[in-house]
Amino acid sequence: MRVTIFGATGLLGKALLGAWDSKRDKVVGLGSKDADVRDADQVRAVLERTQPEWIVNAAAYTDVDGCEVHRELAFAVNCQGAVNVAAAAKSRGAQLILLSTDYVFDGLSTQPYETTAPRAPRSVYGNSKAQAETRIAEILPGACIVRTSWLFGVGGKCFPDTILKMAEKRPAVEVVDDQRGSPTHAPDLAQAIVALCRQRATGIVHVTNAGDCSWFEFAAEIARAAKLNLVVRPTTSEKFARPAERPKYSVLSARSREQYGIAMPHWKDALATYLAARLAWQS
């Protein structure tokens, strides 16, 4: 399988590069310096060179608060960039996976979101990704849109890394306990994406680690599993107001990935794997 990855220098992109079988797959990873997805000509040129059968578009502007300030940039990368990649994929007859997010939902549900739930984003970031989903479905109906949430992994900025670094400098932290979702380990997501490519998946698929928690519960488990000398206290979103509104509940239903026979570890097990990998990476 010939695969081209946009966004290969990001947290997920790095995991994707190592997820394919080097003996049977030819994988090319591209960062923004190699191909800026905002430039349709650059996208077409690089795909002419790499000749992919599958394209994974993990390129995105993911600074949720930054998107509120830089709306034009958010839509240029997350929406128009995705459109450019989809259009180029269509012209080459390549299949496409677009990475999307739980932020396309309003967070008002109390039950896991199915893939058919209506999009109702409440932030610029969520809007940019929701519009990308709609446009890609129009351009390339056979594309696969993979929604995920709360991504973490070694070698990049993520919530567990932040908590671990905070523990080096302070005895206690306050973490919001009124936002609920599913943490997702980048290597687990990458393996799921490979499986979806192998099965020529289409439509929307939700992929997260199993289980759900609040950010407070996630932080408390990090402290416990890493044996940190850190007190984790619950607080509210109102106390830590930020430019972009976060979904209060954004658990994604596992039904769509289970239809492809994809099992995901529980997030607590994935966290243990991450902590071990981070320790090895640092040594």
Residues annotated as part of the active site: 125
Residues 6+ positions from 91 with CB-CB distance below 8 Å? 44
Q: Which amino acid is present at 113?
A: Y
Report the candidate in 145, 128, 149 with the shortest Cα–Cα distance to residue 136. 145
CA 88/CA 83 separation, integer angstroms: 9
Q: Residue with structure tokens 């008002």? A: 108
CB atoms within 10 A of CB 227: 8
Residues 6 or more apart from 143 whose CB is under 8 A from it? 86, 89, 95, 96, 97, 98, 136, 137, 202
Q: Which two tokens stand for residue 78?
A: 């997350």
Say how many Å lie between the first and final Cα of the chain, rounded.
Answer: 34
Give CA–CA dist 160/167, Å, rounded: 11
Contacts of 279 (CB under 8 A, 6+ apart): none
Closest-CA residue to 143 (of 88, 203, 188, 183): 203
Query: Do 61 and 38 touch, CB atoms closer than 8 A?
Result: no
Distance CA 40, CA 85 (A): 7
Question: Beta-carbon neighbour count of residue 188 at 10 Å?
Answer: 26
